[in-house]
Amino acid sequence: MRSNDEKVRVEMLGPFSAYLSDQSVTPSAAKQRQILALLALNCGRMVMVSTLVEELWGDDPPRSADTTLQTYILHLRNRFSEAATTTGHDARQLLGTRHGGYLLDGPSCHTDVEVFERLAREGRAAAEAGDHRRASQTLAQSLAMWTGPALADVPMGRVLELEAGALEETRLSVLERRIEEDLLLNRHVDLLGELRLLSARNPMNETLSEFLMVALYRSGHAGRALNEYQRLRTILSDELGIDPCPRLQRLHQAVLSRDPALESDRT
């Protein structure tokens, strides 16, 4: 995925890694990894010193926090400089200092997060245009960018925890949209194994439960679709004291009545 004309490339949708062209500049020190990850998530935008300090030390920064942060930035620049000796890049331009903060140069920075988000937007646009096959393919490509949990091997303070959590939520929404497109393409049999696993991992996710019910019903397993509804209803009642949403209740009734509309469209 890397080419010789790239500058800084950072991969965060799984294990963390960073490259200057083809040379690794991934820091081994934990706090330097945190800094580079946070800067990469904000390519081209300045990250305030106060935000970096909060990420590294929370509510209890040392008195020397600003000086220590400057030292970490220097170490990162040194890694860039070592790699830049064969590429001609300027480490101070790649990792810049601004009044009150630091940033990775936008045009010089490429991340897998940016690719994931671009493909997700293209997939959603195709879905809105009614091109379900292209939507499914493009959304699947966006999901293929992930090789594990976001920032899997980066120790995270509360700033990165929020960023990683937001990425995981986006990943789930893209996954749900891809499954919806696959159901519209009548791929219900192929989806059964994936949906069973996802439902087990996300036991209170009503959207995934809905998709599983539809896939089961269309595959000739109306009884198992009803069992899935009862499983969800029980866990929502036990954990939250609520019933499934009205959309799920309508789907339940449609399965009970064997509504012909279930054969082709979501209820």
Give the per-residue pLDDT at 135: 98
Residue 10's beta-bridge partner residues? 18, 111
Structural domain boundaries in the chain:
8-111, 188-267
Query: End-to-end distance of the chain based on CA atoms, in angstroms?
Result: 41
Looking at domain 188-267, its CATH class is mainly alpha
Write 258-266 long-range contacts (CB < 8 A, 24+).
258/222, 262/214, 262/217, 262/218, 263/218, 264/186, 266/180, 266/183, 266/210, 266/214
Comparing CA positions, the residue from 129, 118, 93, 124 lying closest to residue 108 is 93
Give the per-residue pLDDT at 85: 66
Residue corresponding to tokens 């990250």: 47
Amino acid at 44: G
From CA 141, how far away is CA 116, in angstroms rounded?
Answer: 8
Q: What is the pTM of this model?
A: 0.90
Give the per-residue pLDDT at 192: 97
Spatial CB neighbours of 125, under 8 Å, sequence gap ≥ 6: none
Give the per-residue pLDDT at 211: 98
**Cα within 13 Å of Cα(262), Cβ side:** 25
Looking at domain 8-111, its CATH class is mainly alpha
For residue 101, the tally of other CB atoms under 10 A from its CB is: 17
Buried b (16+ CB within 10 A) or exposed e, 55-94: bbeeeeeeeebeebbeebbeebbebbbebbeeeebebeeb
Give the per-residue pLDDT at 230: 98
pLDDT (tens digit, 0 to 9) for every residue of the chain, 267 residues total?
444 455 889 999 999 999 998 889 999 999 999 999 999 999 999 999 999 999 999 999 999 999 999 999 999 999 988 887 665 567 778 899 999 999 998 888 999 999 999 999 999 999 999 999 999 999 999 999 999 999 999 999 999 999 999 999 999 999 999 999 999 999 999 999 999 999 999 999 999 999 999 999 999 999 999 999 999 999 999 999 999 999 999 999 999 999 999 986 543
Comparing CA positions, the residue from 42, 104, 116, 115 lying closest to residue 77 is 104
Give the per-residue pLDDT at 2: 40
